[in-house]
Amino acid sequence: MTSVGAGVRVIGSGAATAPQCLTNEDLSQMVDTSDEWIWTRTGIGQRQLCTEETSLAMLAAEAGRQALSAAQLDPQALDLIILATSTPDDLFGSAGQVQQLLGAERAVAFDLTAACSGFVFALTTAAQFIRTGAYRNILVIGADVLSRWVDWSDRSTCVLFGDGAGAVLLQASDETDNLLAFDLYTNGSLNSCLNLPYQGQPKTLIADKQVTQGNYQPISMNGREVYRFAVARVPEVIEKVLFQAQCQTSDIDWLILHQANQRIMDAVGERLKIPAERILSNLAHYGNTSAASIPLALDEAVRQGKIKPGDLLALSGFGAGLSWGAALLRWG
């Protein structure tokens, strides 16, 4: 057990990408679209997709394995694994599978579902277990296989999504607390703007008893409303966490937004007056990977030497729910 009041620090990161690359040119052979149409509206050039042999748990475990390696921590030292995903292999949860694949038998493991906000929600949830003294080493993974739930005949959505996983390893610290602030929100009245709904058919059990049985339907999205929501709420929540931490926009070394649409990221940067060179984007290569997008971009920047110990990161996720949130994190 850690001491109550322990701080949070990040000691490693990792990522895993799906094996297949689907380009805009490939999509133009499937639906009425073109590379130019996709680029100008989304900023996406390609996306990585899982094969039949690649599971969500496998992707998540590989990202976790890389984070453990970067931190030089044995899986047996893990106390908790939080898997942020909306696309589990098993509707009862996939975190247990990840625990087994990692050989982390001591760790409690559970799924957390908050769609594209999932990684930020999971990160801040993990921090509370550390701060209360419950756990010392926590692996936070964001992973999604959205290709399972895309209508590949709908050009408004099929051009957007990809598969992937990213992870960070949090550890308790008696010397510092590098999660400086966070703020989370949900507006359920806008739920219909972006969802993946269950649709059932009635099934009669006996004369006067009936249930429904069915399946989940492909992703549906009102792109215009989601854009308006994100451009309004994301800068606002980032300003709130900066205020909580008594920091200024100019203090941010790297802004890491959910990689949904390049136009959204550009608009948020403009409103916050953060120059483009301080906004991390790998959307062009991976598309929208939901809960995986922030840790994927983060890990890539760490391994490229962009993010260095002591850098101040502003993270913000937004999406289905509708949900959104931000966290201010000192790297290291």
Gap between the Cα atoms of 5 and 133, Å rounded: 7
Output the six-digit token pair for 297. 């971009």
What is the length of the chain? 332
- DSSP secondary structure string for all residues of 276-317: GGGB---HHHH-B-GGGHHHHHHHHHHHTT-S-TT-EEEEEE
24, 178, 282, 288: the catalytic one is 288
> Which residue, chain included where needed, has tokens 């030089």?
72
First to last CA, the chain: 21
Output the six-digit token pair for 238. 């980032």
- 227 three-state secondary structure: helix
Residues 103 and 132 sit within 8 Å (Cβ to Cβ): no
* Residue 288 appears among annotated catalytic residues: yes
24, 50, 116, 178: the catalytic one is 116
Residues 6+ apart with CB under 8 A from 271: 231, 235
Q: Which of 164, 158, 151, 19 is nearest to 84 (CA)?
A: 164
Q: Give counts: helices (H), strands (E), the chain.
A: 10, 15
* Residue 116 appears among annotated catalytic residues: yes
Torsion sign (Cα): 6, 139, 63, 184: negative
Residues 10 and 331 sit within 8 Å (Cβ to Cβ): yes
Gap between the Cα atoms of 314 and 329, Å rounded: 6
137, 158, 178, 258: the catalytic one is 258
Residues acting as catalytic residues: 116, 258, 288
